């Protein structure tokens, strides 16, 4: 879109700030290559003032985590009447909070690993620690403990034993006041990227992530250190399995009413059941991120991917 003035919002205060800066820089370069007039903004307390002065035609939100993916910045853009990329306020709120999204998925009959969730108030004020043994019994070990609203696999711990749970909770609670305890599902780690909205939404080729030895799972270092993970795209799956994985991913995307783009993280177990772990409404677009890889496999260059998302900006 020749000369259209857009701004790219990146950086911010979340723990994924550095990832966001990397995503943002790549997006800025791609948009400029596509002839957009781009103003990058490192989000801080001057954001609204800058947006009011700049009056961009649209905003590409390249922020990750709190503030960027949880409806906060989306709400501001709604108030300022600036069309923006990605999911709207409500979808962002729901997708950012793994607990909320899992409840929604369960209600829709979409497979997601069984779980329990707590606010730290339950521990501080209600003696919730005495439920941990029951939970371990109910879910079976190992249990995966995660902060409810944190990205990039930060704060995730495995408890192989019920006695490990309290420590794992402390670690997760450093990242969020709400924590999820989920049944561990062994299987293959798949990432399904999606473009569009509603009935028009379509999946890109499925990517499988195999962290190299030294990583128990697809953790922060495996995600963002080049060479730490082997990726296969398209993932080597039977056609029927691929179809099911894609169906489940799309169902998730639609259940959460997402828009623009997104990525669903799935564990495919031995029986061929795809278990949805979470949906990300602003997928990473770094050099080691899976969405650009999936787009590439579909014959969509990074610049084109970014342009498609930019053009989907809406209020």
Partner 1 sequence: MRDLMSLAARPEVISLAGGFPATDSFPQDVFDSINRNISDTQRALSLQYGPTEGFDFLKDDIAEIMAAEGTQVDPAHVLVTTGGQQAIDLVTKTFIDPGDIVLAEGPAYAGALTTFSSYQTDVRHVPMDGAGVVVEELEQMLRSLDREGRRAKLVYVVPNFSNPGGTTLSLERRVRLVDLAAEWDLLLVEDNPYGFLRFDGEALPTLLTLDGGRGNVLYLGSFSKIISPGIRTGWIVAPPAVYQKIVFGKQAADLCSSPMNQLFVHGFVSSGAWREYVERLIGIYRSRRDAMLAALAEEFPAGSTWNVPQGGFFVWATVPGVHTGDMLAKAIEENVAYVRGDAFYQDGQGTDSMRLNFSGSPEARLQEGVRRLGAVIADQLELYRALGL
Based on the shown chain and the rule CB under 8 A, indicate whether residue 43 belongs to the binding site for partner 1: no
Q: Is 130 helix (H, G, I), strand (E, B) or coil?
A: helix
Whose tokens are 């995660």? That residue is 146
State yes or no: is 152 an active-site residue.
yes
Interface region with partner 1, contact rule CB under 8 A, candidates 102-110, 166-174, 284-292, 306-314 = 166-174
Distance (Å, whole) CA 10 – CA 140: 40
Whose tokens are 């006695």? That residue is 163
Distance (Å, whole) CA 67 – CA 22: 17
Based on the shown chain and the rule CB under 8 A, indicate whether residue 18 belongs to the binding site for partner 1: yes
Q: Is 297 helix (H, G, I), strand (E, B) or coil?
A: helix
Based on the shown chain and the rule CB under 8 A, indicate whether residue 96 belongs to the binding site for partner 1: no
CA-nearest of 176, 223, 145 to 15 is 176
Interface region with partner 1, contact rule CB under 8 A, candidates 118-126, 180-188, 200-208, 233-241 = 118-126
Minimum CB distance to partner 1, residue 95 (Å): 21
Would you call 68 exposed, middle or buried from its count of C-beta atoms within 10 A (0-12, 13-18, 19+)?
buried
| Binding test (CB under 8 A) with partner 1, winner from 174, 202, 301, 314 | 174
Q: Which residues pair with 159 in a beta bridge?
A: 143
CB hemisphere CA count around 1 (13 angstroms): 17
Based on the shown chain and the rule CB under 8 A, indicate whether residue 211 belongs to the binding site for partner 1: no
State yes or no: is 130 an active-site residue.
no
Based on the shown chain and the rule CB under 8 A, indicate whether residue 17 belongs to the binding site for partner 1: yes
Catalytic residue among 152, 157, 193, 222: 152
Catalytic residue among 12, 259, 263, 289: 263
Minimum CB distance to partner 1, residue 131 (Å): 11
Site string for partner 1, 175-194 (x = CB under 8 A): x-------------------
Residues 197/258, Cβ–Cβ less than 8 Å: yes
Count interface residues toward partner 1 (CB under 8 A): 24
Q: What's the gap between Cα 227 and its chain centre?
A: 21
| Binding test (CB under 8 A) with partner 1, winner from 131, 171, 232, 273 | 171
- 298-301 — which CB contacts under 8 Å span 24+ positions? 298/204, 298/205, 300/204
Residues 132/165, Cβ–Cβ less than 8 Å: yes
CA-nearest of 180, 186, 175, 159 to 114 is 180
State yes or no: is 280 an active-site residue.
yes
Distance (Å, whole) CA 161 – CA 168: 11
State yes or no: is 278 an active-site residue.
yes
State yes or no: is 16 an active-site residue.
yes
Q: Using CB under 8 A, which residues numbered 217 to 246 contact partner 1?
A: 220, 224
Minimum CB distance to partner 1, residue 123 (Å): 4
State yes or no: is 284 an active-site residue.
yes
Based on the shown chain and the rule CB under 8 A, indicate whether residue 123 belongs to the binding site for partner 1: yes
Based on the shown chain and the rule CB under 8 A, indicate whether residue 170 belongs to the binding site for partner 1: yes
The set of catalytic residues is 16, 152, 224, 263, 265, 278, 280, 284
**Residues engaged in binding partner 1 (CB under 8 A):** 13, 15-19, 120, 123-124, 128-130, 154-155, 166-167, 169-171, 173-175, 220, 224
């Amino acid at each position: 879109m020749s000369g259209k003035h857009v701004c790219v919002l990146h950086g911010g205060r979340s723990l994924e700030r550095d990832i966001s800066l990397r995503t943002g820089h790549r997006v800025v370069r791609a948009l400029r290559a596509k002839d957009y007039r781009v103003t990058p903004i490192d989000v801080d307390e001057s954001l609204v003032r800058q947006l009011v002065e700049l009056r961009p035609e649209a905003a590409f939100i390249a922020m990750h985590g709190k503030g960027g993916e949880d409806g906060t910045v989306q709400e501001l853009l709604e108030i300022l009447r600036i069309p923006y990329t990605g999911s709207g306020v409500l979808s962002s709120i729901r997708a950012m909070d793994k607990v909320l999204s899992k409840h929604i998925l369960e209600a829709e009959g979409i497979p997601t690993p069984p779980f329990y969730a707590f606010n730290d108030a339950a521990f501080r004020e209600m003696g919730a620690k005495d439920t941990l043994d029951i939970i371990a019994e109910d879910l079976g070990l190992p249990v995966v403990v995660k902060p409810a609203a944190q990205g990039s696999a930060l704060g995730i711990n495995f408890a192989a034993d019920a006695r490990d749970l309290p420590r794992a909770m402390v670690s997760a609670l450093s990242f969020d006041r709400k924590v999820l305890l989920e049944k561990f599902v062994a299987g293959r780690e798949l990432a399904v990227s999606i473009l569009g909205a509603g009935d028009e939404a379509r999946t890109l080729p499925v990517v499988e992530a195999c962290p190299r030895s030294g990583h128990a799972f697809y953790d922060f270092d495996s995600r963002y250190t080049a060479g730490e993970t082997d990726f296969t795209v398209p993932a080597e799956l039977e056609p029927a399995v691929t179809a099911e994985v894609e169906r489940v991913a799309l169902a998730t995307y639609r259940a959460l009413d997402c828009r623009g783009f997104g990525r669903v993280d799935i564990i495919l177990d031995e029986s061929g059941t795809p278990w949805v772990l979470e949906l990300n409404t602003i997928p990473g677009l770094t050099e080691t991120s899976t969405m650009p890889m999936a787009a590439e496999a579909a014959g969509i260059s990074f610049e084109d991917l970014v342009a498609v998302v930019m053009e989907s900006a809406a209020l």
